[in-house]
Amino acid sequence: MSDDNDSFPQRVWQIVAAIPYGCVTTYGDIARLAGSPRAARQVGGVLRRLPQGSQLPWHRVINRKGEISLVGDSLMRQRDALEAEGIEVSDDGRVSLPQYRWQY
């Protein structure tokens, strides 16, 4: 992979930090940008382990179908955070990727 100063989680954090306000991206997009195109699930794991109160915009990451993958309170937190940025989220937790996807 790469040297110890540039671990996969650190690359994921840097990419997530760069997602612009009002945009979303997918777990797979982040995995590709981090140099591990098959690691979309691992991206989810890295984001799940963020410390409480992290300022990273984790809520801007959704699945490849344009859906929020989380459930329950976490889904509502993510929906609220996206809507606060002007991103429309359907009743079933879908976001229009053609409209809101980050063009990195």
More confident residue, 23 or 4: 23
Q: Is the pLDDT of residue 46 over 60?
A: yes
88/28 Cα distance (integer angstroms): 21
Token code pair at residue 97: 């990727």
More confident residue, 51 or 65: 65
Give the CA distances from residue 16 to residues 72, 92, 100, in Å, rounded to whole numbers and listed in that order: 23, 24, 15
**pTM tops 0.85:** yes
- Per the CB < 8 A criterion, the answer to whether 65 and 28 are in contact is no
The residue length of the chain stands at: 104
Q: Please, what is the angle between helix 40-48 and helix 8-18, to 10°? A: 80
Average pLDDT for 60-71: 97
Q: What are 6-30's pLDDT values in tens digits?
A: 799 999 999 999 999 999 999 999 9
